[in-house]
Structure 1
C-alpha cells in the first residue's frame, strides 16, 4: 500500500490590476507547490516554470523578496499563507461628499472634481448593476 504524498507550498500575493473594472479581483494569497528542497534552496513551480528562493532566509524571516516586476505573484515568497488586508470601498454618500468637497465652487480644482465625479459615477453604476442582478 502506497502512502499519499503531502504537497508543501510557498505563497505569494496576486495583486493584478486591470483597466476594466469588470475583471477586477481584490489582492489575494496564491500558493505555489514546492517541487524540491535542498539545504540552501526551496524550489517551487509557477506558471510551468521552476524558481527558487534561499531556504535559510525563508525559514528565518518567513519571507524572501525576489528581484522581479511588481506584478509578479511571487515577487515576495512567503513560508506561510499571508493575510491580505482588504480595503473597504467607500459608500455612495462618502463619494458624493468627496465630490462636493472637490468642486471648484467649494475650493477644489476642476481636475479633482472630475476624478471624484468619475469614482462616484462608477460606484453608483456598480451598485445599480448589483441591485439589478438580485
Structure 2
C-alpha cells in the first residue's frame, strides 16, 4: 500500500526589487513560500532568505480576506504582503513612439504649443526611445 502524495501548499508574495541604479532593474515577480504547518490560529511558512527561517500569519484573517500584511516585515520584503492565491501583476505597456512623436509635434511652439509643453513632450519621447533601445 502506497500512501497518497501530500499536497504542497504555498503562500504568495511579490518581489519588487528596487535598485538605485536603473541598470539593475528587474520587473516584479511572484514568489512562493512553502507552507510547513497549519494550526487553527496560524499558518507557518518558510521564508525565502538564506537561513530558511520560518514565518507565520494569522490563519483566520488570511483565509477571510485572501491576503494579509505582516507587521514584523519591512515593506521591501517579499513576505510583507502575502496572498492565498497567486496575485496578478500589472505589466507595464510599451509606449507607442508614433503617438509620442505626434504629441511632441503638436506641442511645438510653431504649432500653438508652449516651450514648457514641448520640452515635456520631447523628454517623454526621448525617455521612451532610450528604453526601447535598451530593452
The two structures have a TM-score, normalised by structure 2, of: 0.72
Moved more, 98-107 or 72-81: 98-107
Alignment of 1:97-112 (within 5 A): 106-107=113-114, 109=116
Equivalent residue, structure 2, for 1:37 = 38
* Unmatched runs of 5 consecutive residues or more in structure 1: none
Structure 2 CA distance for aligned equivalents of residues 121 and 2 of structure 1? 62
Q: Which has the larger radius of gyration?
A: 2
The answer to whether the Cα contact below 8 Å between 2:10 and 2:35 also exists between their aligned partners in 1 is yes
Q: 1:17 aligned to 2:18?
A: yes
Of 74, 81, 98, which residue of structure 2 is paired with 1:76? Answer: 81
Q: How far apart, in 2, do the equivalents of 1:45 and 1:52 lie? A: 9
CA displacement, residues 27-78 of structure 1 (integer Å, 9 cap, x when unaligned): 2322110011111000111122211100000111111111232211111111
Q: Could you tell me which runs of 5 or more consecutive residues in structure 2 were left unpaired when the two chains were aligned.
A: none
Structure 2 residue aligned with 1:57, among 61, 64, 74?
Answer: 61
Which of residues 90, 94, 97 in structure 2 aligns to 1:89? Answer: 94
* Secondary structure of residue in 2 paired with 1:124: helix
Cα RMSD for the two superposed structures: 3.1
Count residues with an aligned counterpart.
Answer: 128
Distance 1:114 1:45 in 2: 47
Work out the CA distance in 2 between the residues paired with 1:73 and 1:102: 42
The alignment's TM-score, normalised by the length of structure 1, stands at 0.72
